[in-house]
């Protein structure tokens, strides 16, 4: 079923066509319930075109608007806003139509997959290999996973691409360092034992920074790697495997699914990119492709150097080497031509804004990406330490992501241990259960906190805040879910077995408010899938749980378990069930698990 917003938008479009006005329906949810549930702002824009007063146009739209099955009589307000208020009967019928949760299968809460499914490539996580993942890799992993989940839920085919950096100078450096420290391994690569990759990397990097000759050697070694030297490749592979093994420990912990397809995967594709560009340059097919100081370049237009000269994207350096742009152009070709993706999403920090702007503009300019393909950079801000400074260890090094996650889990365990006083309850948690819950709460808190911030803004990693049971946090949301589920247990009903034919009754203001909020989930999903902004979903879930609290509040709300009549009891329990299901699904789309008892 389409969201209410889509249904109402169609009705407005209909009314506009009846008055021969071509314009967008401009319907949006109202900010304030005083003005109804939805507000149409089309009249103001049309008034000029039609040479009438906005209120007059609004009246004309209303006269031709057929919404009596969905809304109360529309009201015109202010300069010409049209306010629409949903009829309780429509809200009740829409919710009543949602089938009960299926036994065993995943609960889609009545949502069908979209009709126009696409192939989407989501570029997520994508650390540079050779070190362990550090705190800077959290956001891309968590945001990417959420975006992929939402798109998958909508029925799109999603390729979760872990575009790891495995083809750069850092590998030349590692191999060169090995040559100096363990010369025998170069003769017999099978005998390689890396040991602690992190300290090996740090030692190699120290030499790299201090020793010009070693730096040159490292660069030459990476060229040899890229040209296919078999021994170097073997060692390189061992380094990659070891590094990826670390990464996948984190992915397993976070339950994030992805496919490793790093820069090296596109080695042949990069040659192809240069061949194609050379042909374009030679044939003059596109004047965007030109040599500049011996480097093969694409000039996308619209970008300038500090001196105001056209700024190119260098695709093959003067020394013949490939770079980040080369691999990203090859990646685009792969995703568009081989995967047939029509939506390419890059979950990468905001510091790479210009790279993606130039990349996208170049790919369009040279005709490799057509109108039918969307290119999106989900640029996110930095993760800062609690004090608002860049994240560093006391010694000034990078903080491992693993350290951060372990700390969150440990802190969550502390909170649980405190609240779970074994001597007081018969059903105290077993140590295994505590472990599992600490994991779910700790990791859930980290993910939720990250996703609840607007993408582009920086945020401070504050465990106290993210583990707080009050406010827009994972523990609060998990608690809200567990509380709703516990109502079912107290009422001794199986939510899944509540009669789907029983009517939903919306007489009390808090019942109606809750029902409307649940109904809005469809719209929220559409918005998140369109704009790829996870915080829209966290905000919604938070509002939903607060609306539920008012509904269940002893003073403000209604009685559920001991409702006035059996009919009301069933209706209210169904509202509880729907709330729990939406919370669970919503959290699942954020990559967060729920707990039945808390
Ligand atoms: N490895 C890169 C980095 O750590 C991020 C890669 C993002 N994906 C891409 N297709 N460029 O900065």
pLDDT in tens, 208-225: 999 999 999 999 999 899
pLDDT at 429 over 90: no
Beta bridge partners of 75: 83
Task: Kindly report, as residue ranges, where domains of CATH 3.40.50.620 are found in the chain.
Answer: 265-377
68 pLDDT band, cuts 50/70/90, is: very high
CA-to-CA dists, residue 347 to 93, 126, 298, 308, angstroms: 39, 9, 24, 30
319 pLDDT band, cuts 50/70/90, is: confident
What is the phi/psi pair of residue 376, to 5°? Answer: -135, 130
CATH of domain 401-589: 1.10.730.10
35 C-alpha to ligand 1 centroid (Å): 46
346 C-alpha to ligand 1 centroid (Å): 9
302 pLDDT band, cuts 50/70/90, is: very high
Beta bridge partners of 159: 121
pTM of the model: 0.95
CA-to-CA dists, residue 248 to 171, 323, 441, angstroms: 20, 26, 21
250 C-alpha to ligand 1 centroid (Å): 18
Least confident of 91-105, 145-159, 264-278: 91-105
Beta bridge partners of 400: 134
| Nearest-angstrom CA–CA distance, 225 and 169 | 10
Residue 161 and residue 348 in contact, taking contact as beta carbons nearer than 8 Å: no
pLDDT value, residue 423: 46
pLDDT value, residue 427: 62
| Nearest-angstrom CA–CA distance, 433 and 592 | 17
Which of 162, 164, 165, 273 most suits a substitution to test ligand 1, by most atoms within 8 Å of the C-beta? 165
Top CATH class of 4-86 equals alpha beta
Task: Label residues 450-481 b or e (16+ Cβ within 10 Å = b).
Answer: bbbbebeeebbbebeebbbeeebbbbbbbbbb
323 C-alpha to ligand 1 centroid (Å): 12
Q: Whose alpha carbon is nearest atom 6 of ligand 1?
A: 126
265-377 belongs to CATH 3.40.30.10: no
pLDDT tens readout for residues 446-478:
999 999 999 999 999 999 999 998 999 999 999
* Ligand 1 closest atom vs CA 137: 4
pLDDT value, residue 50: 87
Higher pLDDT among residues 391 and 348, named by residue: 348
Section 311-331 average pLDDT? 94
pLDDT at 62 over 90: yes
pLDDT value, residue 410: 96
pLDDT value, residue 197: 85
Section 317-344 average pLDDT? 95
Percent of the chain surpassing pLDDT 90:
82
| Nearest-angstrom CA–CA distance, 361 and 352 | 14
DSSP-derived letter for residue 165 is B
pLDDT value, residue 425: 46
pLDDT value, residue 183: 86
CA-to-CA dists, residue 242 to 89, 167, 226, angstroms: 60, 15, 20
pLDDT tens readout for residues 382-426:
999 999 988 888 888 889 999 999 999 999 998 877 765 544 444
Residue 470 and residue 582 in contact, taking contact as beta carbons nearer than 8 Å: no
Residues with CB under 6 A from ligand 1: 123, 126-128, 163, 165, 328, 331, 346, 348
Helix (H, G, I), strand (E, B) or coil at 197: helix
Task: Kindly report, as residue ranges, where domains of CATH 1.10.730.10 are found in the chain.
Answer: 401-589
């Amino acid at each position: 079923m389409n969201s209410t917003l889509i249904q109402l938008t169609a009705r407005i479009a209909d009314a506009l066509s009846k008055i021969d006005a071509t314009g967008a329906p401009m319907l949006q949810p109202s900010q304030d319930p005083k003005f109804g549930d939805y507000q149409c702002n089309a009249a103001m824009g049309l008034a000029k075109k039609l040479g009438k007063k906005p209120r007059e146009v609004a009246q004309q739209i209303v006269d031709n608007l057929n919404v009596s099955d969905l809304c109360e009589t529309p009201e015109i307000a202010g300069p010409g806003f049209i306010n629409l208020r949903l009829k309780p009967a429509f809200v009740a019928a829409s919710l009543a139509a949602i089938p009960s949760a299926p036994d065993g299968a995943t609960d889609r809460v009545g949502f069908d997959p979209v009709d126009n499914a696409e192939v989407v490539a989501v570029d997520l996580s994508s650390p540079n290999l050779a070190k362990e993942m550090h705190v800077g890799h959290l956001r891309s992993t968590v945001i990417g996973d959420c975006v992929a989940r939402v798109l998958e839920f909508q029925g799109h085919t999603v390729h979760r691409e872990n575009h790891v950096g495995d083809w750069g100078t850092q590998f030349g450096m590692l191999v060169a360092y090995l040559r100096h420290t363990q010369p025998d391994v170069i003769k017999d690569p099978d005998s390689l034992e890396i040991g602690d990759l992190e300290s090996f990397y740090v030692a190699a990097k120290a030499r790299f920074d201090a020793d010009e000759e070693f730096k040159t050697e490292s660069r030459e070694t990476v060229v040899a790697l890229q040209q296919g030297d078999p021994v170097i490749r073997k060692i390189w592979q061992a380094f990659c495997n070891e590094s990826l093994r670390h990464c996948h420990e984190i992915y397993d912990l976070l339950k994030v699914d992805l496919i490793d397809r790093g820069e090296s995967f596109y080695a042949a594709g990069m040659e192809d990119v240069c061949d194609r560009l050379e042909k374009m340059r030679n044939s003059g097919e596109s004047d965007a492709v030109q040599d500049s100081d011996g480097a093969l370049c694409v000039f996308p237009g619209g970008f300038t150097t500090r001196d105001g000269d056209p700024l190119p994207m260098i695709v093959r350096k003067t020394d013949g080497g490939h770079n980040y742009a080369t691999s990203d152009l090859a990646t685009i070709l792969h995703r568009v031509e081989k995967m047939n993706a029509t939506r390419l999403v890059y979950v990468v920090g905001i510091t790479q804004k210009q790279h993606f702007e130039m990349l996208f503009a170049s790919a369009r300019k040279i005709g490799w990406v057509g109108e039918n393909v969307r290119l999106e950079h989900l640029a996110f801000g930095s993760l800062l330490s609690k004090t608002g400074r860049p994240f560093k260890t006391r010694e000034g090094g990078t903080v491992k992501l693993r350290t951060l996650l372990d700390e969150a889990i440990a802190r969550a365990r502390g909170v649980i241990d405190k609240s779970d006083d074994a001597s007081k309850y018969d059903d105290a948690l077993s140590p295994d259960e505590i472990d599992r819950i600490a994991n779910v709460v700790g990791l859930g808190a980290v993910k939720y906190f990250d996703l609840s911030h607007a993408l582009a803004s920086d945020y401070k990693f504050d465990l106290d805040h993210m583990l707080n049971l009050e406010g827009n946090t994972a523990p609060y949301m998990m608690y809200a879910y567990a509380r709703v589920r516990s109502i079912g247990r107290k009422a001794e009903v199986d939510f899944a077995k509540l009669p789907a034919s029983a009517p939903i009754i919306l007489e009390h203001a808090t019942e109606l408010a809750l029902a409307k909020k649940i109904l809005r989930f469809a719209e929220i999903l559409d918005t998140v899938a369109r704009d790829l902004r996870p915080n829209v979903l966290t905000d919604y879930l938070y509002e939903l749980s607060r609306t539920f609290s008012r509904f269940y509040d002893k003073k403000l709300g209604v009685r559920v378990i001991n409702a006035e009549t059996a009919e009301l009891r069933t209706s209210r329990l169904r509202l509880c069930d729907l709330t729990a299901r939406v919370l669970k699904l919503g959290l699942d789309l954020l990559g967060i698990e729920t707990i039945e008892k808390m």
